[in-house]
Amino acid sequence: MESLGSLVVAYWRPAAFVIGGLIIGVVFERLVLRRLGRAAKQTATRWDDAVVDSLRGAPILWCTAAGLYLAALSFDLSPTVYFLLGKVLTVIIIFSITLVLARVAARLVAVYAEKSARGIPASSLIQTLVKALVLVLGGVIILQALDVPIAPVITSLGIGGIAVALALQPTLSNVFAGFQIIAAGQVKTGDYVRLETGDEGYVVDIKWRNTTIQSLYDDSEIVVPNSKMADSIVTDYSLPRRAIWVRIPVGVSYASDLKQVERVTLEVAKEVGAEFAGSAARALAEPVMRYQEFGESSVNFSIRLQVANFQRQFEVRHEFIKHLHERFLEEGITIPFPIRTLHAPQPFEVRGTDG
């Protein structure tokens, strides 16, 4: 009993420091940080959301590390042990702060990209690069805290980097191609593109090795290596602006009043455009109609409507055809089907095969 009592007396204070630090960290995480998160969501900006979300889990680690340090001070240890313990805790604190700063930097890059003129999310490649830069800086600070010479480490990394580069040439070519795609700015996440292979869809992300494209028609993902993407002929339907023109060919009977046809067609085009353009209606151009040719059974023309983005064209085309057909029926305008009339110069006799 005396030994148990002596152990309790000797260790209750260090245990209290460790448990107390853990409890303080949990309380700060659950109460203070959670309230800060709710307050950040109520603000108009998203910078504070990025900072608060990046701090998740860090207060528990920091408070627990502080409790461990105070617990160590409660023991009568040698200066060498105190020195080593201080170094270990310093490395833990610096590394955790580096992780938090890396997450904050990546989130801020994403927020900045969403606030840009294109209004698109940042690619994974850029966020990974930002994280890597912050982690490298944190590693340099840790080496300095441990009194490790940095010059020999950099030299060793340079020599090792050459060997790694030779062994990972295909991977590195995709990485640099990804940077080339992002730096050129001709293809960005959120753009609708069509490759020379015929594959098309929205660019979901540009990663360190490949570019992910989501097909519009079946929601499948097309994974294209960055090196192939950089060398491919790509049609970007989101440049120079996201709005695109939709051309719909129509034909009417030769007996139709062409002025009436033009008036009715433009009215329907404007109605459909205003109905499906929404807030982007003012930024879109007026529909354009042009007669093109005298066909075999109809006078052919085309109507061009501008829609907000590539995906919107299918719905607008669908609704325009329905509305135009309905108005043509009301106005007595006929959309003819092909008719062929045969003219024989003189009567002829059809004989059977028996002569």
Rounded average pLDDT over 157-170: 57
Min mean pLDDT across 8-12, 27-31, 122-126 is at 8-12
Cα dihedral angle (82, 84, 87, 91), rounded to 10 degrees? -130
d(CA 231, CA 195): 10
Average pLDDT over residues 231-244: 81
Q: Would you state the pLDDT for residue 260?
A: 94
Q: Tell whether 347 is covered by a domain.
A: no
CB 189 within 8 A of CB 204: yes
Q: Kindly state whether residue 72 falls inside one of the protein's structural domains.
A: yes
Is 313 a member of any domain? yes
* Distance from C-alpha of 81 to C-alpha of 288, rounded to nearest angstrom: 83
Residues 139 and 263 in one domain: no
2 Cβ contact list (under 8 Å, min separation 6): none
Concatenating the DSSP letter of every residue in 140-196 gives HHHHHHTT--HHHHHHHHHHHHHHHHHHTHHHHHHHHHHHHHHHH-SS-TT-EEEET
Q: What pLDDT does 119 receive? A: 43
Closest residue by Cα to residue 198 from 185, 217, 179: 217
Mean pLDDT estimate for the chain:
79
* Same domain flag for 90 and 73: yes
**Domain containing 279 — which CATH number?**
3.30.70.100
Structural tokens at position 306: 């501008």
- Would you say residue 178 lies in a domain? no
pLDDT digits (tens, 9 = 90+) for 183-208: 777 788 888 888 888 888 888 888 87
| Domain count across the chain | 3
Question: Model's pTM, two decimal places?
Answer: 0.57
**132 and 14 inside one domain:** yes
Distance between CA 323 and CA 315 in Å, rounded? 12
206 and 256 share a domain? no
Q: Is residue 190 part of a domain?
A: yes
Mean pLDDT along residues 141-148: 80
Task: Identify whether residues 27 and 72 lie together within a single domain.
Answer: yes
DSSP sequence for 5-63: HHHHHHHHHHHHHHHHHHHHHHHIIIIIIHHHHHHHHTSS-SHHHHHHHHTTTHHHHHH
Same domain as 191, residue 112:
no
Q: Domain span at residue 207?
A: 184-236
